[in-house]
């Protein structure tokens, strides 16, 4: 199967504008994401798909590959689907531009999920280790069935821990997706769904149209840069892995 990685990169993020161009160590956030994805060696091609000439120039001027979106898009999946439509590819992996610390082992497991022909979409999750983050709406939670298929994604705390005599594991959804090309293109034909609109979680569009995501568990933490405070955490994490 031909596998490519695409990094949707919007310049004017709502909660943290221009975050992808923020300096992190000796590179910008988006360059860390791109370079670390290439370094996994898992893909036939890695491509940044952006609405920003600034981001496009940042990648291309540093030897990377990028394309400009032709139309405005509400979600990252819509953005990469536009670029993927004319490409000969089997599996497309969507790497979030604001998650610069890529783990090759996790991505390999994600791609291996497609050995099961029933899997149309797959994504990553990890157990919360910092319980103070569970109630934070910037961290998306996911619940799964016995086959590790997604049941629900939410910014709220799920599941609700009513039976306190039982232990509960909360899973954070890591914003890395992989799709069969057909599933990704189908996504763009559906209108935004009610839960997706309410929660601003794009993968809910799949659930609301009857397609579950195969969730792959990882222990890799990394740092997602969603708000300015996360950048300081990312600096600390970068220092810890480069010592």
pLDDT of 10: 84
- Estimate to the nearest angstrom the gap between the alpha carbon of 2 and the chain centroid: 20
Lookup result for tokens 């990394």: 222
Asked whether residue 42 carries a pLDDT value surpassing 90, the answer given is yes
Averaged pLDDT, 190-219: 95
pLDDT of 147: 96
pLDDT tens per residue, range 66-98? 999 887 777 778 888 999 998 999 999 999 899
Distance from the first to the final alpha carbon of the chain = 37
Residues whose CB falls within 8 Å of the CB of residue 183, separated by 6 or more in sequence, listed in order: 120, 121, 206, 211
| DSSP type of residue 113 | G
pLDDT of 75: 74
pLDDT of 5: 97
Averaged pLDDT, 5-23: 86
Give the DSSP letter string of 41-82. ---SEEEEEES-HHHHHHHHTTT--EEE-SS--SSHHHHHHH
* Assigned CATH topology for domain 3-242: Spore Coat Polysaccharide Biosynthesis Protein SpsA; Chain A (3.90.550)
pLDDT of 19: 93
The CA distance from 211 to 12, in Å, is 30
Domain ranges of the chain: 3-242
Asked whether residue 54 carries a pLDDT value surpassing 90, the answer given is yes
């Amino acid at each position: 199967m031909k596998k490519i990685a695409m990094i949707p990169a919007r310049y004017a993020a709502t909660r943290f504008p221009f975050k992808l161009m923020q300096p992190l160590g000796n590179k910008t956030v988006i360059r860390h994401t791109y370079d670390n994805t290439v370094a996994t060696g898992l893909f036939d091609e890695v491509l940044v798909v952006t609405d920003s000439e600034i981001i496009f120039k940042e990648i291309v001027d540093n030897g990377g590959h990028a394309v400009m979106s032709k139309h405005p898009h509400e979600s990252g999946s819509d953005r990469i689907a536009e670029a993927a439509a004319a490409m000969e590819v089997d599996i497309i992996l969507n790497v979030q531009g604001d998650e610069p610390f890529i783990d090759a082992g996790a991505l390999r497991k994600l791609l291996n999920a497609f050995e099961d022909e029933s899997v149309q979409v797959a994504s990553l999750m990890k157990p919360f280790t910092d319980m103070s983050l569970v109630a934070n709406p910037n961290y998306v939670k996911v619940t799964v069935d016995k086959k590790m298929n997604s049941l629900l994604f939410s910014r709220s705390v799920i599941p609700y821990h009513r039976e306190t005599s039982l232990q509960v594991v909360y899973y954070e959804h890591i914003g890395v997706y992989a799709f069969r090309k057909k599933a990704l293109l189908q996504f763009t034909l559906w209108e935004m769904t009610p839960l997706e609109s309410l929660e601003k979680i794009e993968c809910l569009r799949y659930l609301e149209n009857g397609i579950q995501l195969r969730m792959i568990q990882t222990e890799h933490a990394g740092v997602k840069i969603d708000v300015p405070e996360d950048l300081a955490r990312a600096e600390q994490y970068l220092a810890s892995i480069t010592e």
